Chains A and B, each alone.
Chain A
Amino acid sequence: MSSKLLFDRIDEPGLSTLAVYERRGGYSALRKALAMAPEDVLSELEASGLRGRGGAGFQMGKKVSFLPKGSMEKYLVCNADESEPGTFKDRELMQKSPHMLLEGIVIGSYAAGANCSFIYIRGEYVLQADVLDAALAEARAAGYLGEDILGSGHSLSLTVHRGAGAYICGEETGLLDSLEGKRGNPRLKPPFPANQGLYQGPTLINNVETLCTVPTILRMGGSQYAKLGVETSTGTKIVSVSGQVRRPGNYEITLGTPSREIVYGLAGGPPEGREVKCWFPGGSSSPVLRADDLDLPYDFDSIAKAGSMLGSGAIIVVDDSTPILDVALKVAKFYRHESCGKCTPCREGTNWTVKMLERIDSGEATPMDLDIMASVQEHIIGNCLCVLGDAMAMPIGSMIAKFRPEFEAHIEAARARNGLGAAGALAGPAPALAQGAL
């Protein structure tokens, strides 16, 4: 289950310095890559089957291959915004082993033919950005970055850019706008960043963990790496486990490990005397799963088949001491706060959902509101400019579907507390769209 690649001796003192990283064989993958043709590096990446670790799970090799060939200015951007609630894996990687990321970026840029790269790091990661800056200076001095890297002819500039704090800047096109100095709003796709990204140039955008994995793949060989994990989810993944567990933290697991082993085995399960009520398998934007889904193998496809998603690999565990309404409110309020406001369903839908949830808690709701709320989530999903709207609507929709009796009980209890009559008496079909059209 836990075969450590990225987290291999991650706590070794001084690993963030070039000396220790090199002593452990650091930058050997880069030397190996630079001795190969860029196309061969790309085929290693494709052979590895590595899927993006940021949330969408798109195959990294394929993403690189989408970049147009030619001599135009191309960019590589490392997404270190890590803004999905419950996700804190990139922070540990960058803080403890920054050179691993730098090495991955240089190899990635070599495969993609990019000569200009950025690490877009969230503003709150002050320490990590400082660590990266220090590592960057060391790597530059050692000739791993800059002009004609290690005599290969490949050049790469790298800038650590600190964000100003917005969830939407973790969305790749919002990130690009922010990097260009604009308000961080997502762009319409197509054109996709691979064709028209940063400053209109072809741009490869990858998550920190994805790029950190690149040196390992080069060292092991793509096909060897692909033997780890399961067929469509190869390799290892760092899982951030948080919420009501005894040992929250980052754990590197082989994809396909049973979820129960992660939640109970590694993270220790919920505190004494409590049971898992539900869990988010991939950050707060993934639809919640129930306790009996814990037997699912933790890989991209198994989780997707169960109606959720692996996302950024952040497991949030909710135990039976927490009302589901509190969970829903927490999630909805976060996304309402972070909605950029550009597209209608997300801007208005997140706002409306929060207001309805608050009404449940204040005892002014009826079960009909649950129907309306569920239909509002349906109207958000798939209709937005980017996935932020879906990121709220999917978990909220799943909570209403899976925990409706608890919501209804909450409504009745709140009404009683409020001195209002039972809502059951008011029950009736909720108005839906496309029936009463003019």
Chain B
Amino acid sequence: MPRPQPRTITLTIDGREVQAPENAMLVDAAKHGDVEIPVFCYEPKLGNPVGACRMCLVEVEGIPKLQTGCSTPVKDGMVVHTQTERVKIAQQSVVEFLLINHPLDCPVCDKGGECPLQDITFGWGGGISRFIEPKRHFVKPLELSPLIAIDRERCILCYRCVRFSQEISEDYQLVLSERGAHSYVSTFDGHPYVAPFSGNIVELCPVGALTSRAYRFRARPWEIEDAGSVCTLCPAQCNVTLTVRDERVLRVLARDHPEVDDGWLCDAGRFAYPAPDGGERVTEPLIRDGGMLRPVSWEQAMEHAAAGLQRAGVRTGAIVGGQATNEEGFLLARLLREGLDSPHLDSRVAGALPLELHRALGDPRLQARVSDLEFAHAVLVLDAEPITDAPILDLRLRKGVRRHGMRLERAGSEDLQAVRELARQLSERGEEVVLLWGERLAGGPNGADAARALLDIATTLSLGDVEGAGLLEIPAWTNGRGLREAGVLPNAGPGLSAVAQEGLDARGMADGLIEGELSALYLLGADPLERLADRARWEQALGRASTVVAHAAFLTDGVREHASVVFPAESYAEKEGTVTHPDGRIQRLRPAVAHVGSTRSEWRVIAELAARVGLDLGVLTGSMATAQLVRAVPFYAGITPEEIGGKGVRWQEREAAGAYPLREQLR
């Protein structure tokens, strides 16, 4: 579907010429000329403007009435006034109207200090109050849900939260009840607002009416710092801003990235942040002693782990998952391959895939972007459940269907012939077809067949040649794509290079441990009992291992029962490094808070262990690790932290993508 590509026009705002995209709403166009027009109800993320709050009234020459800037598309030659007496009075009157029923409890309001109503009152209000009647009253605050409190007295009825529920998350729960000055926001049936994306309404609220119950009264805006990072709880890798006070994360906000998250967060990403501080975190090294894990010094833990790994040597396997970064995976692969001469590495949850297929599936020309989900003619979801696998993609798919008439279908890979037929039917809607597939498609016993079928479909529909079409994988682990590209595969080194000797995949490692072929297992962020198939077999395998080294933030079953050494793992808010988004966008994690307890960076632990088994990895800082990774992966060549910046960089869109190891005949 064609994406909007507006031409630039010139309009005059307050006597100055401003260049802006044609048909942009005046409020947005004005920003190109450094003119701010105040708004409450307008939020482009929510779709078409509603013009409800009337805050953005401005004068447009040739139109007798004042116009709402939020709903006036700009045209070439338009002349706009935002500072005339008439506009000022209208805007002041709207502020006055809004404050009629708004309690002036800013000193005890969570929003105070970061409140659009405060700012706009100060910037565009009349500075006087003429209202002396009693204000309206509600019982407050109420629990709108276990996560959100609602203060109906503060609500200015801007409709944002209701529109979110009705038109973005489409849970259809929030409504405006009653009418006129008696209107209030509530759920349709009076039940709590429980929905997967409910937390976004807190961020949308322009006043202190909707507040996070977890954050309420925890900090004032002048006591906090913002730290930009990336949420690594799932493969969606949403961009976030962490609200930090006294070295603790107190809140997670969206850091709008149209190509990643579209400005939304799921409730897990938004509200799970207290977990790392919840008291169950592993904050110091542990070793197993008499069947129990007990805290030890770093020196003892390192010594213990290094000795165990050295004993096992080539008989060591490693599974990398969880929230591990590219650098961590890369360095661990070096430790295994160069330090212990072991080829047994995996970062996939099930089944080995031939290297050619890995390469073909990752073909840069075939990769769809997240935003393609929105504009595609059709999307076929295969073996994936976006709402749980990568929740934010669910919203993107809904947006595509609702706003652009995208056709959405879903299927499982059991019947590949049916999948081919479905894809063919979908392609009749238009050539931009995206296949959104889950890693488990290529993980089952017939994984390779399914992967080939996927590539077949892509070839038949020429997805590689059509802009906006392609494949998009949802990996099982957050950084699945990055770890594979960093070489954490049994059959591939950095940059999906061929390896001299193929190792065991995850399943093979279980067998190897049971059969005595392997004796040590290194777990980086991955607990086989939690995430890998066949728990009973893994129980047995872990029980047979003589050494299990685990990096873990929590004592999950496998770690608690079987680890010989546990290194405290960082939370993502403490991490430094890069991750690669499923669509190839390399994004940067930046430490927002200090390490809890005696936690150390994973890369540092790996480097030190390597040194103890006689391998100098040559990394003294996190950025040295990044530099080494970038040198080792040809199609990442030249990427620097500066280039990644706050918005990330898709490697497929860089020149170095030409170095991707693709053999034409395999496609």
Contacts and interface: CB of A to CB of B under 8 A. Distances in A.
Given A352-B131, A383-B94, A347 B65 contact: no
A438 B88 CA distance: 12
Interface residues of A, number: 37
Interface string B56-70: 010000000110100
Interface in B573-621: none
Nearest to A385: B51
Interface stretch (B174-182, B319-327, B342-350, B376-384): B174-182
B85 A434 contact: yes
Contact of B179 (A340, A355, A382): A340
A433 B122 contact: no
Given A183-B176, A188-B50, A188-B71, A342 B92 contact: no
Interface in A374-402: 376, 379, 382-385
A437 B88 contact: yes
Contact of B51 (A188, A347, A372): A188
B157 A341 contact: yes
B159 interface: yes
Contact of B181 (A350, A437, A438): A350
B126 interface: yes
A437 B181 CA distance: 26
Contacts of B107: none
A338 interface: yes
A372 to B, nearest CB: 5
A219 interface: no
Given A188-B50, A342-B52, A437-B92, A382 B65 contact: yes
Contacts of A430: 130
A181 to B, nearest CB: 13
Interface string A328-339: 000000001111
A246 interface: no
Contacts of B98: 344, 348
Interface in A341-368: 341-345, 347-352, 355-356, 359
Contacts of A355: 133-134
A166 interface: yes
Given A338-B180, A341-B183, A434 B126 contact: yes
B89 A340 contact: no
Interface string B118-130: 0000100111101
B101 A348 contact: yes
Give me the 9 closest cross-chain CB pairs, A-B, nearest first: A379-B93, A341-B183, A351-B181, A348-B97, A339-B180, A438-B127, A355-B133, A188-B51, A433-B126
Nearest to B133: A355
Contact of A433 (B52, B96, B175): B96
A437 to B, nearest CB: 5
B54 A348 contact: no
Interface in A410-437: 430-431, 433-434, 436-437
B394 to A, nearest CB: 24
B49 interface: yes
Given A336-B180, A349-B97, A383 B57 contact: yes
Contacts of B71: 188
A344 B52 contact: yes
Contact of B128 (A379, A383, A384, A436): A436
Of A168, A339, A341, A376, most B-chain CB atoms within 10 Å: A341
Given A338-B179, A372-B130, 12 more contacts: A188-B50, A340-B179, A341-B183, A342-B157, A344-B97, A344-B156, A345-B54, A345-B93, A347-B157, A384-B54, A437-B126, A438-B125
Interface string B75-105: 0000000000100111011101110110000
Given A188-B71, A352-B133, A436-B128, A341 B180 contact: yes
A431 B53 CA distance: 24
B180 A385 contact: no
A345 B134 CA distance: 18
A382 B343 CA distance: 75
A341 B162 CA distance: 14
A383 B127 contact: no
A433 B89 CA distance: 6
Interface of B: 48-55, 57, 65-66, 68, 71, 85, 88-90, 92-94, 96-98, 100-101, 122, 125-128, 130-131, 133-134, 156-157, 159, 175-176, 178-183
A379 B159 contact: no
B122 A343 contact: no
Given A431-B128, A438-B127, A343 B54 contact: yes
A341 B176 contact: yes
Interface of A: 166, 168, 183, 188, 336-345, 347-352, 355-356, 359, 372, 376, 379, 382-385, 430-431, 433-434, 436-438
Contacts of B101: 348, 351
B69 to A, nearest CB: 13
B176 A348 contact: no
A336 B134 CA distance: 16
8 contacts: A341-B183, A342-B50, A343-B54, A344-B98, A355-B133, A359-B133, A431-B128, A437-B126
Contacts of B49: 188
B180 A340 contact: yes
B40 to A, nearest CB: 8
A341 B85 CA distance: 27
Given A348-B181, A352-B100, A343 B131 contact: no
A138 B93 CA distance: 54
Contacts of A188: 48-51, 68, 71
Given A345-B97, A348-B100, A438-B125, A383 B183 contact: no
A44 B178 CA distance: 45
Given A349-B97, A351-B100, A433-B96, A344 B53 contact: yes
A190 to B, nearest CB: 8
A343 B51 contact: yes
